[in-house]
Amino acid sequence: MTLKHQFKRVFKARKVIPKYLWDILKDLDERIENNSSSEIISTEVNISTGNASGSSTPNDELIGANVIGIVPNGNQDQFIKEIIIGEDGKVTVTLNDNAISQNKFIIFLAKINSSE
């Protein structure tokens, strides 16, 4: 399947997309086709040394968005366990273990604005 829309700001260096991410992109592609507009939003999350999670500042634009990617923006010394978007638009990244040093991430989210 070819996606009808290009997710240009998603990390391009990766040639092989895992099936679960491809399924998310296909779902977003179908939802975009049936709606008036969409946008890709990014936010930063920092996880301090010794902590297992960190959060972005709350952002109303992120409420209802879907995570489509995450890339390290500096150090990453632990695997990512989960990414959650809170009801206040705050993105929280949780690692499998406490960070050995500060970890920084950029999270990419797709926001689909309904035409209804």
**Can you give the pLDDT at residue 2?**
45
**In-domain check, residue 51:** yes
pTM here is: 0.69
Q: Answer whether residue 17 is part of any domain.
A: no
| CA–CA–CA angle 3, 23, 61 (5° rounding) | 80
The per-residue pLDDT for range 43-102, each reduced to its tens digit, is: 999 999 999 999 999 999 899 898 988 999 888 899 999 999 999 999 999 999 999 999
Query: Is 27 contained in some domain?
Result: no
Report the pLDDT value the prediction gives residue 111, as an integer from 0 to 100: 84
In total, the chain counts a number of residues equal to 116
Q: How many structural domains comprise the chain?
A: 1
Q: What is the CATH number of the domain that holds 48?
A: 2.40.30
Q: How confident is the model at residue 40 (pLDDT cuts 50, 70, 90)?
A: confident
- Predicted confidence band at 103 (pLDDT cuts at 50, 70, 90)? very high
CA dist 42 and 2 (Å) reads 24
- Structural domain boundaries enclosing 97: 39-113
Question: What span, in angstroms and rounded, lies between the C-alpha atoms of 16 and 97?
Answer: 27
